[in-house]
Every structure is written in structure tokens, then in C-alpha cells.
Amino acid sequence: MQEPVDVVCAVIRRGAEVLVARRPEGKRLAGLWEFPGGKLEPGEAPEAALHRELQEELGCHVCELLAGPEVVHAYPWCTVRMFAFACLLDPAGPEPSALEHEALAWVAPGDLDRLDLAPADQPLLPWVRALPPA
């Protein structure tokens, strides 16, 4: 069995909502919603990967990271080990933009069930719903 691929995801909170991103056509899981993030580079700490990935994918910066659960999910093509972080947008930074996604949306945690969420993100829902409003 191959080692899991380490990835990070950000649960970016604003008030009583969290940011989700829809995967674009041409990528695995196209059309599904996810918490933004991506793969760790060799030797990279999860927190550093989170900041790098959010800059690349959304053009934004976050602060006040709170480590959340670690999720292991087996897709048919690989197994991912995801490190989740709750965070806030840096108030001095730019608004998130869909640089690598089809769309972005701010959603109340209680409404996340209505979205077609990526399978690896689904186990995070109880934790996301338990987070206090930002």
C-alpha cells in the first residue's frame, strides 16, 4: 500500500459563514465543492503549505490558524491525509478570488449538506459546525 498524499485545507471563517470552492472542469472531482487547500511539498510543514496554497489558489492570506482534525480518505487513485485548519482572512489582505476554482461561495455551516462536497471534506462537517462564529 502506498503512503498517503499529505494535503491541507482551510476552513476560512467570516462571521457565521465559511468559504468553499468548486473544483473546475478538467480536474479530478470537477464540480464538487471543497475547503480550499492543496498538497504539501517535500519537507513542508502543514501550516506553511496552507499559506502557500491559499496564496496560489485564492490570492489571499489568512491568520489565527487553529489546527483541526486529520482526515484520511481513500480515493480510487490515491489515499490522502488531510490536515484541516480553521482560520480567518487577514484583514489587511485581499479578498479571495477563484484563481484555480470555478466558483467561491460563503456558506453557513448548517447549509454545507446542501452542497456536493468532496468526499474527503465530508468528515470535517461536525468539527466545522462546532466552530464558533468568527
- Write down the pLDDT at residue 37: 97
Q: Which domain holds residue 33?
A: 5-130
One pLDDT digit (tens) per residue for the chain, 134 residues:
578 999 999 999 999 999 999 999 998 899 999 999 999 999 999 999 999 999 999 999 999 999 999 999 999 999 999 999 999 999 999 999 999 999 999 999 999 999 999 999 999 999 999 998 88
- Write down the pLDDT at residue 134: 84
Q: Which among 65, 113, 64, 86 is positioned nearest to 13, based on CA atoms? A: 86
Task: Give the number of domains in the chain.
Answer: 1
- Phi, psi angles (nearest 5°) of residue 2: -75, 155
The DSSP call for residue 117 is B
Long-range contacts of 67-72 (CB under 8 A, 24+ apart): 68/11, 68/124, 68/127, 69/123, 69/124, 69/127, 71/120, 71/121, 71/123, 71/124, 72/4
- Write down the pLDDT at residue 45: 97
- Write down the pLDDT at residue 122: 96
Distance, CA of 134 to CA of 132 (rounded, Å): 6
Q: Do 123 and 69 form a contact (C-beta atoms < 8 A)?
A: yes
CATH number assigned to the domain comprising residue 52: 3.90.79.10
* Predicted structure pTM score: 0.94
- Write down the pLDDT at residue 21: 98
CA 90, 59, 47, 22 dihedral sign is: positive
